[in-house]
Amino acid sequence: MYFTYTNSIWRNLKNFIHENSVIRRKFSSEVKQEVKFDNFIEFRRAQASRSILVQVQSENSYVDLCNYCSKFGDIIGAHHYELKDNSNYILIEYKTLESIKEVLDSAHYNLESTGIPAYSPLLWFKAAGVVKGNSVKLLNDSNKKGILKISNGLYQTREADVMELILSAENVSDQIKTLHELTKLNDLEIRLRFLAAKQIENSISGIFPKASALPFGSSVNGFGKMGCDLDLVLRFNQGIVKDNINSRLVFHTKENLTNERSQVQKQMECISDILQIFLPGITSVRRILQARVPIIKFHHLLLNLDVDLTMSNMSGVYMSELLYILGEIDHRIRSLIFVIRKWAQSVGLTNPSPGRWITNFSLSCLAIFFLQNVKHPLLPPIDLLNKSATINDIRITENGLNCTFLRDHSILDFRTENNSELSELLLQFFEFFSQFDFSNKAISMNKGSAIIKPDHSSIYIVNPLEPNLNISKNISLEECERFRIEVRNAAWILDNEIENAKSNSKSTTKLWGIANLFKTSQETVIKPNFFFKPRMVEIKNLFDDKDEEKVISDENDHLNIKESVKTLETNLTKKFKINKTSDR
Ligand code: UTP
Ligand code: MG
């Protein structure tokens, strides 16, 4: 017997999965018509603005807490979770923003503690009996039990349980779907990510009322796995609209004359101090300001999140939007990328720390490229999205990157005729990259085809938004070779598994199907070539000296960039106007 479980564990697990899928279905039906990336982000940001997080004694405190909190307004949801240290939290969502103001105005600081009196939506609930709340009728249900939407919402299905459910699937394609369903980010995890962003935004709202902290990366691009890191970009001016341009009153501001990069580094130092010194829950703040994209890393104790905060431009957000849109085009894409990421992690191709190995982001790009090249492509070249853009899709970052592409994929002139099962697609992915000529060819998702490699990088993936950059520049020759070995192994294993699954009856006790792909590299069929150097990272290799030199020497670049952004915007707008007239 591979795994044994008592009936009660099974029941709990199945209940949990059922409960979550009901929530997901409900959520997806709530936002179905708002499936555009911007709407999704706005929906989640608004939800976070109407939410507070309260530390409680235990899950049982929720009736008391909801009773107390409902005197500030209608509550529309409560989500409980417990962390490893046995601390318990309930996230409360109010119907209106006014309630948040009331609830926070009513809260007080613990005068006996030396704590810094920071104002944030993170609170704790005093023990019963100290403050008595009025029993007020709750919005959805007079029975308070009805309001707790999720109990223990950060529960991650144990690896062994995921495996057991994979083994009880019908066929290899169902195994891939099961893996996706069980491991993708859930509703509460997304809420906590947007709350973390809100907390940072609030902390600087005095001087920067228009500041936005925007989640990007796998937290929002549809490829996020439970427990994935949160990537955040903080922009001081994101909400500044050009509509006020005619106002005769202009804000006094400090001149920003030094080069943009060193200015951003200084601002980031200051922000990292605010996070570290003032914001509850934020701990282990580290600054990595010399990197090509300077970041602040920290851990959020109360929200259970590892966060990477940048203050660079919006290109990461637009890239996430692009991946989100591509993932929306066909229901198989996200499941396929999930299984590829899981496989790469299991065989040790990816690694949580940065280094010379392939990243999840590069893997997703490889999968996208494969889906553009498969017989009867599932995805169009990104150039088609660029060409199909409308005037509402114009986006230019502050540093002049043109991130204009069609946002509404439903009007894209592209339909796939590919009816392949997920299992076939996964096998074809492995076969495709077993044969790909990484030595001479670069991957262009824009063109949807291979192009001549512009330099000697081991793997060259053209960044679709910044075509002069290689997304996989960090990958060493050794890691590229390991990737080729592992895809060959995987193709061989999966081919056999698909054949066997057709003929033999499936077992829930013996490994079969994709479960056989998730073996550590020690167990793989072909051993990597040990001729290569060990996989040690040298810190200097994490930084892009060349780029740094370039930026530092361009003292007045930001002025030129501002000019070119303006010209680009004007040209694009003109182009769309001309197209529109000629269409008539
Ligand atoms: P990450 O490396 O954190 O990737 O980059 P990820 O997609 O979030 O995956 P995991 O789950 O953390 O491993 C975050 C985002 O930064 C942008 C992409 O949008 C990516 O999703 N990015 C990263 C780029 O635009 N270019 C790059 O070269 C790297
Ligand atoms: Mg990430």
pLDDT digits (tens, 9 = 90+) for 357-372: 999 999 999 999 999 9
| Dihedral sign from CA coordinates of 217, 219, 223, 224 | positive
Q: Which amino acid is at 255?
A: E
Question: Residue 483: its pLDDT value, please?
Answer: 98
- What is the Cα–Cα distance from 535 to 514, expressed in whole angstroms? 27
Question: Residue 494: its pLDDT value, please?
Answer: 96
Kindly give the distance from the C-alpha atom of residue 6 to the centroid of ligand 1, in angstroms, as a whole number: 40
Closest residue to atom 24 of ligand 1, CA basis: 316
Q: pLDDT category, 180, cuts 50, 70, 90?
A: very high
Question: Residue 156: its pLDDT value, please?
Answer: 79
Question: Residue 342: its pLDDT value, please?
Answer: 97
Question: Of the bound ligands, which one is closest to the alpha carbon of residue 341?
Answer: 1
Closest residue to atom 11 of ligand 1, CA basis: 218
Q: pLDDT category, 332, cuts 50, 70, 90?
A: very high
pTM for the complete prediction? 0.85
Residues in the chain: 584
Closest CA to 287 of 305, 264, 304: 264
Asked whether 547 lines ligand 1 (CB < 6 A), one says: no
Asked whether 321 lines ligand 1 (CB < 6 A), one says: no
Is there a contact between 370 and 539 (Cβ–Cβ < 8 Å)?
A: no
pLDDT score of 208 more than 70 = yes
Per DSSP, the three-state class of 123 is: strand
**Radius of gyration over alpha carbons of the chain, in Å?**
25
pLDDT score of 100 more than 90 = yes
Q: Which of 77-86, 251-260, 439-448, 493-502 has the lowest mean pLDDT?
A: 251-260
Question: Residue 113: its pLDDT value, please?
Answer: 84
Backbone angles phi, psi at 69, to 5 degrees: -75, -20
Mean pLDDT of 426-440: 97
Kindly give the distance from the C-alpha atom of residue 173 to the centroid of ligand 2, in angstroms, as a whole number: 27
The full 3-state SS of 141-193, as one line of letters, equals CCCHHHHEEECCCCCCCCHHHHHHHHHCCCCHHHHHHHHHHHHECCHHHHHHH
Question: Of the bound ligands, which one is closest to the alpha carbon of residue 228?
Answer: 1
Per DSSP, the three-state class of 303 is: coil
Kindly give the distance from the C-alpha atom of residue 351 to the centroid of ligand 1, in angstroms, as a whole number: 14
Closest residue to atom 13 of ligand 1, CA basis: 360
Closest residue to atom 2 of ligand 1, CA basis: 361
Mean pLDDT of 126-141: 51
pLDDT score of 11 more than 60 = no
Question: Residue 561: its pLDDT value, please?
Answer: 57
* Strands of the 122-124 sheet, one edge to the other: 122-124, 51-56, 88-94, 75-82, 148-150
Closest CA to 389 of 404, 372, 411: 404
* Cα 480–chain centre separation: 25
Kindly give the distance from the C-alpha atom of residue 115 to the centroid of ligand 1, in angstroms, as a whole number: 36
Asked whether 461 lines ligand 1 (CB < 6 A), one says: no
Asked whether 320 lines ligand 1 (CB < 6 A), one says: yes
- What is the Cα–Cα distance from 489 to 526, expressed in whole angstroms? 7
At 394-413, the pLDDT tens digits run 999 988 999 999 999 999 99
Query: What percentage of the chain reaches a pLDDT higher than 90?
Result: 65
- What is the Cα–Cα distance from 10 to 88, expressed in whole angstroms? 24
428, two tokens: 């074809």
- What is the Cα–Cα distance from 409 to 390, expressed in whole angstroms? 12
Kindly give the distance from the C-alpha atom of residue 359 to the centroid of ligand 1, in angstroms, as a whole number: 8
Question: Residue 408: its pLDDT value, please?
Answer: 93
CA distances from 14 to 7, 157, 394 (A): 10, 10, 46
Is there a contact between 397 and 147 (Cβ–Cβ < 8 Å)?
A: no
The residue to mutate among 218, 232, 361, having the most atoms of ligand 1 within 8 angstroms of its beta carbon, is 361
Asked whether 229 lines ligand 1 (CB < 6 A), one says: yes
Mean pLDDT of 2-15: 40
Asked whether 471 lines ligand 1 (CB < 6 A), one says: yes
Question: Of the bound ligands, which one is closest to the alpha carbon of residue 320?
Answer: 1
Question: Residue 256: its pLDDT value, please?
Answer: 76
Question: Residue 533: its pLDDT value, please?
Answer: 40
Closest residue to atom 4 of ligand 1, CA basis: 361
CATH number for the domain running over 331-530: 1.10.1410.10
Enumerate residues 6+ apart whose C-beta is below 8 A from 5. Answer: 13, 161, 164
Q: Which residue has the higher pLDDT, 148 or 206?
A: 206
End-to-end CA distance of the chain, in Å?
Answer: 70
Q: What are the extents of the domains in the chain?
A: 331-530, 537-584
Question: Residue 129: its pLDDT value, please?
Answer: 60
Question: Residue 244: its pLDDT value, please?
Answer: 74
- Atom number, ligand 1, closest to the C-alpha of residue 473: 28
Asked whether 94 lines ligand 1 (CB < 6 A), one says: no
The residue to mutate among 184, 225, 231, having the most atoms of ligand 1 within 8 angstroms of its beta carbon, is 231
- What is the Cα–Cα distance from 116 to 277, expressed in whole angstroms? 8
Kindly give the distance from the C-alpha atom of residue 217 to the centroid of ligand 1, in angstroms, as a whole number: 5
